[in-house]
Amino acid sequence: MSLNIREFSSSAEGFRSELESLLAWDSVSDAGVQQAVANIVEQVRLQGDTALIEFTNKFDRRNVASSSELEITRDELALAKGRVSAELVASLEAAAKRVHNYHERQIQPSWQYQEDNGTVLGQKITPLDRVGVYVPGGKAAYPSSVLMNVMPAKVAGVSEIIMVVPTPDGVVNDIVLAAAYIAGVDRVFTIGGAQAVAALAYGTESVPKVDKIVGPGNIYVATAKKMVFGVVGIDMIAGPSEILVVCDGKTDPDWIAMDLFSQAEHDEDAQSILISPDSAFLKAVKSSMDKLLQTQSRKDIIKASLEGRGAFIHVENMDEAMDIANIVAAEHLELSMDEPEKWVEKIRHAGAIFMGRHTPEALGDYCAGPNHVLPTSGTARFSSPLGVYDFQKRSSLIYCSPEGASELAKIASPLARGESLEAHALSAEYRILQDEKGE
């Protein structure tokens, strides 16, 4: 079984524009989706549970009569956990613990400092009150995503975490529910799609309104999240998952082939790119792929993904590889090479960086500790992995001493008048101390 993967050389003319075409991804939802989602969101906002039940019955082919049927209790989650194998529960618990430990390092404490005249400045940092976590149902039901979305919120100290997960035809996924139990989700509703996003954003009689919605979903979910952005906070809208492997040519080609497969097996739009200065190694990885592909249970998806969006890029040297990595700004960047700690200095943009031959993305996906919710499609240029900081927010603190206020007012007053905001100026000037007003 031979794969037909694009091959590029960085020295070829037009490489840069070919790279741009390779990376291009347009996630814009069409007008039809926009209209459908706008309608669903509006109905749920206005009619609450009535609309939520109607859409759930329609889209998930269910027969829910009352909103109480939409909730899964903590007791039921515990029962689901009991139905999962002991080995899998142990892995979920070990992963949850590692993810928890890593994210504890991200907690940001409030801070303040005092100036000589007694004025105090700072920032008070507090957790969000209530968060909604969207978990896809059906074929792409990932318990690991439950852990990755819930743990940072737990570590941040969010008081209440509401999970929504669609159950098409009423089928629940025990591993997902077990993960929700282990992660400490407070309430679970079996709703999905734009209707679940709307319910979380506006609240219904049964679903409490949250302050932020996180978690992946299909185009309807993504469109709905973008639509309610501002009413609630949202995380980044995720595109297809991608990996960029940079290898010096000295890692086992089978390992690299499988690392690329592990990304490609997600779906047909996933992207796997390999960069190396060693053309013989690129050929060896290609041979490994051809050899290993037929053994893969998801070989059709892997083939479609690699042939549709995959690429091998031959570069002149490692410096050039790092330049290309910064252009790609990959969600997952694997530095499979000697002394990755030196090369990582040159990386400015990446969601997560996997260093060394023994660090495949799969370890980060599940249990290394860092979050697997990462910026896709080059958005690592301006955004970050999901983290505790996404579930904390800040309030500026300003406490002026009378002397401090008097000094600041003398700076603020001309600025306010320069902006023709006289009441601002007067409000400041009232705080100039009497014995200084004659200055």
Length of the chain: 439
Give the span between the Cα atoms of 244 and 166, in whole angstroms.
Answer: 32
Q: Are strands 271-276 and 392-399 parallel, antiparallel or unpaired?
A: unpaired
State the minimum distance, in angstroms, from the CB of residue 70 to a second copy: 24
Which residue among 133, 153, 313, 374 contacts a second copy (CB under 8 A)? 374
Write the binding mask 255 to 284 for a second copy: x where contact by CB under 8 A, - elsewhere.
x--xx-xx-xxx------------------
150 binds a second copy (CB under 8 A): no
Please name every residue paired with 336 in a beta bridge, in sequence order, or none if there are none.
247
Give the span between the Cα atoms of 308 and 305, in whole angstroms.
Answer: 5
The residue whose two tokens read 């990932």 is 142
State the minimum distance, in angstroms, from the CB of residue 41 to a second copy: 11
Q: Are strands 71-72 and 212-214 parallel, antiparallel or unpaired?
A: unpaired
Three-point CA angle 50, 55, 59, nearest 5°: 160
137 binds a second copy (CB under 8 A): no
195 in a known ligand binding site: yes
332 in a known ligand binding site: yes
Write the binding mask 303 to 332 for a second copy: x where contact by CB under 8 A, - elsewhere.
------------------------------
Residue placing its CB nearer to a second copy in the complex, 287 or 384: 384
Please name every residue paired with 213 in a beta bridge, in sequence order, or none if there are none.
132, 234
Which residue among 17, 396, 435, 437 contacts a second copy (CB under 8 A)? 396
- Span 398-417, contacts to a second copy by CB under 8 A: 398-402, 404-406, 408-409, 411-416
Residue placing its CB nearer to a second copy in the complex, 61 or 342: 342
- Span 28-67, contacts to a second copy by CB under 8 A: none
Residue 325 in contact with residue 244, Cβ under 8 Å?
yes
- Span 64-123, contacts to a second copy by CB under 8 A: 85, 87-88, 91-92, 94-95, 98, 102, 105-106, 111, 113, 119-121, 123
State the minimum distance, in angstroms, from the CB of residue 53 to a second copy: 25
The answer to whether residue 332 is catalytic is yes
383 in a known ligand binding site: no
294 binds a second copy (CB under 8 A): no
Residue placing its CB nearer to a second copy in the complex, 58 or 83: 83
Choice among 242, 265, 331, 407 that is catalytic: 331
Look at the alpha carbons of 17, 377, 364, 152 in this order and tell me if their dihedral is positive or negative: positive
Rg of the Cα atoms in the chain: 26
Which residue among 175, 191, 198, 273 contacts a second copy (CB under 8 A)? 175
Give the span between the Cα atoms of 330 and 97, in whole angstroms.
Answer: 27
349 in a known ligand binding site: no
241 in a known ligand binding site: yes
State the minimum distance, in angstroms, from the CB of residue 153 to a second copy: 12
Q: Which stretch binds a second copy (CB under 8 A): 10-18, 186-194, 198-206, 248-256?
A: 248-256
Q: Which stretch binds a second copy (CB under 8 A): 70-78, 198-206, 274-282, 418-426?
A: 418-426
Give the span between the Cα atoms of 375 and 240, in whole angstroms.
Answer: 10
427 binds a second copy (CB under 8 A): yes
Residue placing its CB nearer to a second copy in the complex, 60 or 331: 331
Which tokens sit at 54? 């109607």
346 binds a second copy (CB under 8 A): no
Q: Which residues of 385-396 are buried (b: 16+ CB within 10 A; e: fewer)?
A: bbbbbbbbeeee
Residue placing its CB nearer to a second copy in the complex, 193 or 253: 253
The answer to whether residue 307 is catalytic is no
359 binds a second copy (CB under 8 A): yes
Give the span between the Cα atoms of 272 and 261, in whole angstroms.
Answer: 8
Q: Which stretch binds a second copy (CB under 8 A): 73-81, 184-192, 290-298, 306-314?
A: 290-298
Q: What is the 3-state secondary structure (H, E, C) of 270-323?
A: CEEEEEECCHHHHHHHHHHHHHHHCCCCCHHHHHHHHHHHCEEEECCCHHHHHH
Give the span between the Cα atoms of 78 and 37, in whole angstroms.
Answer: 34
Q: Which stretch binds a second copy (CB under 8 A): 9-17, 54-62, 183-191, 379-387?
A: 379-387
Residue 186 in contact with residue 161, Cβ under 8 Å?
yes
**Residues ≥6 apart with Cβ < 8 Å to 260:** 243, 245, 272, 274, 285, 289, 306, 310
Please name every residue paired with 175 in a beta bridge, in sequence order, or none if there are none.
none
Choice among 332, 361, 372, 407 that is catalytic: 332
138 binds a second copy (CB under 8 A): no
Residue 386 in contact with residue 147, Cβ under 8 Å?
no
Give the span between the Cα atoms of 153 and 388, in whole angstroms.
Answer: 6
Annotated binding site for substrate: 241, 263, 266, 332, 365, 419, 424
Annotated binding site: 134, 195, 218, 241, 263, 266, 332, 365, 419, 424
Enumerate the active-site residues. 331-332
